[in-house]
Structure 1
Amino acid sequence: MTIAWGSGQARGVLAATVLGSGMAMLDGTIVNVALPRIGTELDASVSGLQWILDGYLLALASLILIAGSLGDRYGRRRMFVLGVVWFGVASVLSAASVSTSMLVGMRVLQGVGGALLTPGSLAILETSFVRADRARAIGAWSGLGGIAAAIGPLVGGLLVQVWSWRLAFLINVPIATACVWLARKYVPESRDVTSAGRPDVLAAVLGALGLGGVTAALVEAPARGVGHPLVLVTAVAGVAGLALFVRLLLRSADPLVPPSLFADRTFTLANGLTFVVYASLGGVLMLLTMQLQVSLGYSPTAAGSATLPITAIMLVFSGRSGQLAQRIGPRSQLVAGPLLIAAGMLLMLRIAPGASYPTVVLPAVVVFGLGLAAVVAPVTATVLAAAPDRHAGVASGVNNAVARAGSLLAIAVLPAIAGLRGESYSDPAVLTAGWRISLVVCAGLTIVGGLLGAGVRNDVLAEPAPPSPEHPRPGECLHCSVVSPPTHVGK
């Protein structure tokens, strides 16, 4: 059973997936705005602020692969709903934190919930909609979800000023409640019925150990020194964990991530583009709201409002961007989008003390937003289309893990590259100098992403010939998509 665009059930599925993934996106951008207040109230250093962001991203990136696999095996809707509930509970615990270390721990728990729900939202779209409507559905999902990420700074600023940064977490509770109701009402359950055995838990543990070790070493090295025992031990453990993770995938009969996925050049290049673009986005978005508040004297609400043009651009153009990629192929957008993002970042070099919003900040965020709208939907649709449908959950998990790992490493590395240590972020001169260095580095990364986009197959989103029972599409099982109808549709 697949769903056609425009039906009531299609709208319900889209609403559920947008609310779930949008909640995770919203939380990330809200927390960015709240960081200065969190740092003041909890007396956090730069390292502490990094861990508040990276604790979440680390759990998300480490577990998202096995979460995608769990969805393929045991039901994508089931894992999605579990992740939404988990995320909501962890949000309440985050709001109740009384110290930096406690908040970091609760953010890790939030990341576990995010890992369960994020690949499920994309996999649900990929397996629920008819193939001709998938790029359109993903475009709408990325546009509406992107709005959640874009309005996060504004919502976060308002919540912080109304009462406290704690509201930035409590807002997730009503969103999670609505999302669970919609998922149970409209989303059909689906799984890969060809999956056998248990998920590769050892591979997931090794992947988590690898990412965790490398991240810990990168975050702690500037403050403790490269030769500190903690830095050395975590670095060695991280590298060893990642090496063993790759070795296990190559030798396993039923790997957590089938290495055959990366034999497709388009799948590999699109994920490479995702990594560098999201690394640059993670670094810039973390520092932009701090630069506006600390160096330009914006209030939290004003800093959040400064990025509202991105919201409007994503709303208007993301769905159309997905449709355009379906019609002409994604390659041109995967080249132009990153270049526009890089241009927006270079324009942001002028965002310094005394800069005017209409003549300096606004043009930069408009160009930045146009680049995002051009690339987000096409690259996501390209990754999923390059993988067999039965691996939709794993492919989504890989793409999300790559995106989160990029942001994770950027947040860990950029402050050190930019010379931000201890509580130096509170000095406008030091922060502005670091901000400019970070922008140049991130713009370079997005340009690399555009070069990678030039190598993708331009016909990857084209509608294939209809399969028959005798001649299914390579790697696709005709009976492994939707296995049960949604409950209470139309009632």
Structure 2
Amino acid sequence: MTSQTTVAEPAPDLPAGPRKGVRGHPWLTLFSVAIGVMMVALDGTIVAIANPAIAADLDASLADVQWITNGYLLALAVSLITAGKLGDRYGHRQTFLIGIAGFALASGAIGLSESVPFVIGFRVLQGLFGALLMPAALGLLRATFPAEKLNMAIGIWGMVIGASTAGGPIAGGLLVEHVSWQSVFFINVPVGVAALVLGLVILKDHRAKNAPRSFDLPGIALLSAAMFFLIWALIKAPEWGWGDLTTWTFLGLAVAGFAVFAFWETKVAEPLIPLGMFRSVPLSAGVVLMVLMAFAFMGGLFFVTFYLQSVHGMSPVDSGLQLMPLTGMMIVASPLAGGMITKFGPRVPLVGGMLCTSAAMFGMSSLDAQSGGLGMSLWFALLGLGLAPVMVGATDVIVGNAPLELSGVAGGLQQAGMQVGGSLGTAVLGATMAARVDDELPGNWTDAQLPPLSAEQLDQASAAVEIGTPPVPPEAPPEIVTAITNVTHDTFVSGMGFAFTVAGVVALCAAGVALLTKRGENAEAGGGGVHI
């Protein structure tokens, strides 16, 4: 699911009545950008349903599947702030159309890929073009709608994102089950063509005032390198070992990269992220809150599709339906959360939301191979109820506590924090899962009186168990198949439960961070707003 923020300056004084002609018509502009943004929103959940099929078809390991997710999220996170500045400089119409075309082409290329490295590479391109698309879409709405109707437009835009997110698991399940996992990506091509044609006809160019004259290319390179070292270390640590020198070398390079990036940002004339923004405690707390929320949510949810399909044997469509309480509750609860935040301020809804999220994570840690659908649905619904106020409120906190002239950068920080948190959560909880499987599988295998495994065979079995797939040898007798399946499911569920427990603790910490938030002086400034 994807949220984005706006505004850097008040919306222009536009006439309330409809424009004459098609070009620049407010509601047609909304329709046009909504179709484009729908692709990115769908991709957030539709690919998760396809992950087990991709892993099986391309013989991908857990780390490979993580990189299919992390490559996209990292590219998106690293590029969002830069993409927003590109739109301000060269026009939001141009960057939106380039983002649409590139996203659709990258999607088609993924569908044609026959190896994991190509899938990962084109997913990175998807993330880069998605970063161009998202800030430009809201920039176009801000420039097109009169101030008194901008909130309504962004509200409808948010509903499109919510509906797309909710429909992703169902659409993904139908496509994977009845066509192929490739069709999950191919579907973006006709949607992208439609959005591109509409955009060329309808969208009107807009150039922001006081556009940046230069771009912080060294800052972009430093931040990208630092995050790469960090995520790579976290994903490879189970293979290398947490005590291995290689793991700590990459972690050290990540710390050094972030330190050099921070130093550089204090020296450059137009920094990628002006560090003075973080003097605001509520703003900093809002950014940390987004990272922790996404860490717990996206990291924990990574295992759910494997749990539903591999352990419970659900079809892709059924697993998508099982997730509907989560996305459906988010759609229902988001406007209610917005009303609460307007009335009471962000602190109480944010703390309550993260406490609900933590409770849902701890509840999901109790799931086992025999858990029924009703129990799962209740925890999923509670998770959606908890996430809704955080999605809405944290954005208000970040942008509202930033100076007006830096509200666009603050919006990029909000979205980047969410994407980076999701990447870190997937990596850290994946490593946690792998460590638990490596620790428990040998004993569980022996206790089931299964034939002993060599070190190499045990490594291969662990890689399969991490995604819930029983490592059954060819022509194994039925009793051996049953025993291996039981060991696999028990070990996988144990690892997943531990990962959800860690996610619950992180969400609990996020509730504490939410106590530091408050409505900012700019939160009620005129001319547009900040919405999910």
Displacement of 1:81 in angstroms is: 2.2
1:423 equivalenced with 2:464 (yes/no) = yes
Displacement of 1:139 in angstroms is: 4.7
Structure 1 residues 38 and 119: CA distance shift in structure 2, 3 A: same
1:25 equivalenced with 2:41 (yes/no) = yes
1:403 equivalenced with 2:444 (yes/no) = no
1:448 equivalenced with 2:470 (yes/no) = no
Greater CA drift, 413-422 or 364-373 = 413-422
Q: Match of 1:51?
A: 67
DSSP-derived class of the 1:20 partner: helix
Deviations 1:271-330 (A, max 9, x none): 111110011111122111111111122111111111112333333332343344334422
1:151 equivalenced with 2:167 (yes/no) = yes
Q: Match of 2:220?
A: 204
Separation (CA, whole Å) in 2 of partners of 1:140 and 1:104: 33
Larger Rg: 2
> Percent sequence identity over matched residues?
32
Whichever residue aligns with residue 422 of structure 1, its letter is A
The question of whether the paired residues in 1 share the 8 Å contact of 2:226 and 2:258 is answered with yes
Q: Match of 1:387?
A: 402
Q: Match of 2:211?
A: 195
DSSP-derived class of the 2:215 partner: coil
Greater CA drift, 329-338 or 10-19 = 10-19
Separation (CA, whole Å) in 2 of partners of 1:15 and 1:336: 34
The question of whether the paired residues in 1 share the 8 Å contact of 2:45 and 2:165 is answered with yes
Q: Match of 2:485?
A: none
Structure 1 residues 310 and 272: CA distance shift in structure 2, 3 A: same
Deviations 1:370-412 (A, max 9, x none): 1222221222233233334443432222111111111111111
Q: Match of 2:192?
A: 176
Displacement of 1:268 in angstroms is: 1.6
Q: Match of 1:469?
A: none
CA RMSD of aligned residues (A): 2.7
Separation (CA, whole Å) in 1 of partners of 2:294 and 2:274: 23
Choose which of 38, 56, 71 in structure 1 pairs with 2:54. 38
Map 1:31-430; keep pairs closer than 5 Å. 31-125=47-141, 137-184=153-200, 187-226=203-242, 231=247, 234-358=250-374, 360-418=375-433, 419-420=436-437, 422-424=463-465, 425=467, 426=469, 427-430=488-491
The question of whether the paired residues in 1 share the 8 Å contact of 2:397 and 2:519 is answered with no
The question of whether the paired residues in 2 share the 8 Å contact of 1:341 and 1:443 is answered with yes
Displacement of 1:76 in angstroms is: 2.6
Whichever residue aligns with residue 383 of structure 2, its letter is F
DSSP-derived class of the 1:194 partner: coil
DSSP-derived class of the 2:391 partner: helix
Q: Match of 1:480?
A: none
Structure 1 residues 142 and 265: CA distance shift in structure 2, 3 A: farther
Structure 1 residues 269 and 141: CA distance shift in structure 2, 3 A: farther
Separation (CA, whole Å) in 2 of partners of 1:323 and 1:186: 33
Structure 1 residues 355 and 7: CA distance shift in structure 2, 3 A: farther
Separation (CA, whole Å) in 1 of partners of 2:280 and 2:203: 30
Q: Match of 1:489?
A: none
DSSP-derived class of the 1:440 partner: helix
Q: Match of 1:488?
A: none
Count of aligned pairs:
465
1:438 equivalenced with 2:524 (yes/no) = no
Separation (CA, whole Å) in 2 of partners of 1:75 and 1:428: 52
Displacement of 1:5 in angstroms is: 9.2
Displacement of 1:207 in angstroms is: 0.8
The question of whether the paired residues in 2 share the 8 Å contact of 1:384 and 1:392 is answered with yes
